[in-house]
A and B are shown apart, each in its own frame.
Chain A
Amino acid sequence: MSDISLTVNGRQVRAAVEDRTLLVHFLREHQGLTGTHVGCDTSQCGACVVHVDGKAVKSCSMLAAQASGSTVVTIEGIANGADLHPVQAAFKEHHGLQCGFCTPGMIMTATDMIARHPEGLDEATVRAELEGNICRCTGYHNIVKAILAASQTMSKASKPKKAA
């Protein structure tokens, strides 16, 4: 067993877990954060993407013990109270989801992608960067649209601050 201590969605969490516990199972089964999904077991599909210390990570390919001492944010933790995160809002606005199973991973990947590209995104970049996330419903058309729209919204929102 491993004793772990980490921050999950702003809350300090301590637990004793079996050594082989993956971060995704710790989040889902120990923390009840079932928004993070398991879609493939081979770190291909990206349904399990969360943020660890600000970076997008496939939580099926990291042990919970490895995340000890880290700050983890899941799909349940990115909205600002009742206000949706701009990426969440864009997925709804542009119909970027159907069955919803890949959606949390898509949104967590997209927020990370947008943060890494402050210069803005184009369609080719978004499609290339989505390589690690599989969706079977949407054909990606509206996911790409949603991420491009969110990127624009977020850059507009950040510009006035710089000016001020």
Chain B
Amino acid sequence: MGMEGIGARVTRKEDKRFITGAGRYVDDMVVPGMKHAVFVRSPHAHAQIKKIDVKQAQAMPGVVAVLTGKELKADGIGNLICGWMIHSKDGSPMKMGAWSPLAFDRVRYVGDAVAIVIADTKGEARDAAEAVEVTYKELKAVVDAVKALEKGAPQLHPEAEGNLIFDWEIGDAKATDAAIKAAHHVTRMKIVNNRLVPNAMEPRAALGYYDKGEDHYTCWTTSQNPHVARLVMSAFYNVAPENKLRVIAPDVGGGFGSKIFIYPEEVVCLWASKKAGVPVKWVADRTESFLTDAHGRDHHSTVEMAFDKNNRITGLKVDTVANLGAYMSLFSSSVPTYLYATLLSGQYNIPAIHANVRTVYTNTAPVDAYRGAGRPEATYLLERTIETAARELGVSPAELRRTNFITQFPHQTPVIMCYDAGDYATSLDAAMKAADYAGFAKRRDKAKKAGKLRGIGMSCYIEACGIAPSAAVGSLGAGVGLWESAEVRVNAVGTIEVLTGSHSHGQGHETTFAQLVAGRFGVPIDSISIVHGDTDKVQMGMGTYGSRSGAVGMSAIVKALDKVEAKAKKIAAHLLEADEGDIVIENGALKVAGTDKNVPWFQMALAAYTAHNLPSGMEAGLKETAFYDPTNFTFPAGCYICELEVDPETGLTEIIQFVAADDFGNIINPMIVEGQVHGGIAQGVGQAMLEGAYYDASGQLLTASYMDYTMPRAGDLPSFKVSTSNTPCPSNPLGIKGCGEAGAIGSPPAVINALTDALGVADFTMPATPSRVWAAVQKH
């Protein structure tokens, strides 16, 4: 498709500003008269607020205003909500507790905001925040979801008796129980998916600006979906009507899910900008990010996997308790349900599945989507179980998987999903070859002679991306549709602007989206600009998460391009006095097929705008809009293999090699896809070996800085061996499946399967820190 079109390894257009220090993030924005905000936060995990005394703080140097939850409520600002309705199996709706953007009667986790202090400088605001006197009556806290369900546990919300938000199920319980009863072998495990903090490198930030003259608000915010932020803040939080609220998400320094949600801070900064009469900027420090960004994972599950005598899986039964923290974040209910349990069939033909999921309030930060969101939890559970089953059954892990692979498509699983295409054996073969799986035994022996324990493990993941047909997600409880929009504007000189509702915060849309257009019309990639992240420029969009920008966002662009092309051809045919059906677009010109008659792209565009000589009845201009609603989820899949070596003396574990073989369907830019896989693997390996968010029993977060929470660093990781295969996705015009989350989904079980292989233990709870590995070696 040429040097700049689909499939080309084009270097990124957006890089120049980032490598020269010219990126523009929220913290870089300055508005005349702007003041700085610091939030007063609860030091207690659970307490009643008896009194908030702001007098002393208000008198401090530089202080403009100190505002509390009572004033916020008095102004009618609404509670934060969860936008995905889940019903319990008894038919009752989920029990959503009230979440005021500023707590006024009770705090429910350490970091819960109770007041905002606005001052001339951040230093002054910080000083004054120290002087706000809040009198608390401490209450007993509970941080563990399983304990929160026990009788006598501290109760968080009057709406949710026993801290239970919902008790939900999917699949056929009877058939699954029967399969387990009749099984030749059943593998049973308890699986913990450790709690993580997303840790985008740019801390969250918000700048609220109220224009008195226009009675209009602007919010610069670190968001993956500014339009959703505007919609929710207008429709539910009563900040301002949509036509009076502009949300801008400029350069955003990573998201990984944590910047999907609408948090208290942006709502409060907007409200406060009117109340205090000054633009208000808040930027989280890193500890605030640890305390208040939505966390990820935190599942406790039991699983039973049944096999017949031919080693075919006959049933899978799962029981999961998911910690949702102190309040229900925007999409929190969907993560342990429709993004998790619908993927429990994995790559395998499983005739009967049943999953029961209980979600629970605890005195911890809210838990919501983090890279993969539900799918890593499903994959970890399934891939740890099948690996363990292979060991119990005495068969090779690869062969047990192969025996159970789905090979016919489309394939309807017992848990809603209908897989449209895939070739799982090809990924498995590619990964085993790249890892020299056959030569492992020799390497293990060699390592043994050196006093090291070597292990190898694999993981065959599947995920559902794109999310998804609006009608389908609507029927499952989503409060929004999950289409995407695009507008293609061809300017009078032939340059092109593409407005998209997707948002780039590292994914490289300014390059890949431009490649799509460059390839289609044969125009230079530099003549194409991608516009995103501003609700005043782009009318509406659903944003970027769930690996959806390629499959859904680019499909919307394709639809708009179809319309542009049709009109461009009509204009060219008119100018060339040819038949519209004979016009082809090649190398930046519209040609009459089989002749040398042509009109250059820019001349056609100019003709559209001069409108001197257009076909009769045609409107001037060349600008088209499209909304694309997917017809199905997409199903990326692949195989990951990890080989590692444990030093039994120290517990130090080194990853010797990490192989990824992914099937992402068609690929726009292999360089960018590889980068997404690298980053995903690093986060997955981080979860498996380094990361964990820990609260003590009183609800204090013990891992609230980079001194305590281990982020993967360069020295913790090897270079990765990545490759892709391609079964095109039949469900969208580009055949794209999505690649953003695969690495984080597929890698944790590969690492732990390798570790348990090395140690010869049945199970190991993540993360595999040296002290825990050492302890496991001693115990063995």
Contacts and interface: CB of A to CB of B under 8 A. Distances in A.
Nearest to B19: A88
A144 interface: yes
Interface in A82-134: 84, 88, 91-93, 95, 97-104, 107, 123, 126-128, 130-131, 133-134
Contacts of A47: 201
B705 A42 contact: yes
Q: Which of B24, B27, B253, B671 has the most CB of A within 10 A?
A: B253
A139 interface: yes
Given A42-B707, A75-B21, A139 B252 contact: no
A76 interface: yes
Interface in B219-274: 251-254, 256
Given A130-B715, A138-B679, A139-B678, A36 B254 contact: no
A92 B278 CA distance: 40
B682 interface: yes
Given A41-B285, A95-B11, A95-B675, A139 B717 contact: yes
A126 B254 CA distance: 24
A18 B123 contact: yes
A40 B202 CA distance: 9
Contacts of B652: none
A38 interface: yes
B286 A39 contact: yes
A79 interface: yes
Given A98-B679, A99-B201, A92 B21 contact: no
Contact of A131 (B27, B202, B713): B713
B630 to A, nearest CB: 25
A141 B720 contact: yes
Contact of B719 (A28, A41, A123, A128): A123
Interface stretch (B358-366, B449-457, B503-511): B503-511
B286 A131 contact: no
A100 B715 contact: no
A92 B15 contact: yes
Nearest to A108: B21
Contacts of A79: 20
Interface residues of B, number: 58
Contacts of A95: 11-12, 671-672, 674-675
B244 to A, nearest CB: 29
A113 to B, nearest CB: 11
B581 to A, nearest CB: 41
Q: Is the interface of B mostly helix, strand, loop or mixed?
A: loop
A99 B15 contact: no
Interface in B177-217: 199-203
A65 interface: no
B478 to A, nearest CB: 27
Given A35-B21, A141-B678, A101 B202 contact: yes
Nearest to A100: B18
Interface residues of A, number: 54
A125 to B, nearest CB: 10
A100 B506 contact: yes
A45 interface: yes
Contacts of B25: 34, 37, 101
Interface string B77-103: 000000000000000000000000000
Given A102-B201, A139-B681, A44 B707 contact: yes
B714 A126 contact: yes
B552 interface: no
A135 B18 CA distance: 14
Contacts of A8: none
A136 interface: yes
B714 A143 contact: yes
Contacts of A100: 14-15, 17-19, 23, 251, 253, 506
Q: Which of A47, A137, A138 has the most CB of B within 10 A?
A: A137
Interface in B638-688: 671-672, 674-675, 678-683
B254 A137 contact: yes
Contacts of B14: 100
Given A134-B706, A136-B711, A139-B678, A39 B21 contact: no
A88 B20 contact: yes
Given A38-B203, A84-B19, A139-B681, 15 more contacts: A33-B21, A34-B21, A35-B23, A37-B27, A41-B286, A42-B705, A76-B22, A84-B20, A92-B15, A100-B18, A102-B253, A127-B714, A130-B715, A133-B713, A136-B201
13 contacts: A42-B706, A75-B20, A95-B12, A95-B671, A98-B254, A99-B254, A100-B253, A101-B23, A103-B19, A138-B678, A139-B681, A139-B743, A143-B714
Interface of B: 11-12, 14-25, 27-28, 121, 123, 199-203, 251-254, 256, 283, 285-287, 505-508, 671-672, 674-675, 678-683, 705-707, 711-715, 717, 719-720, 743
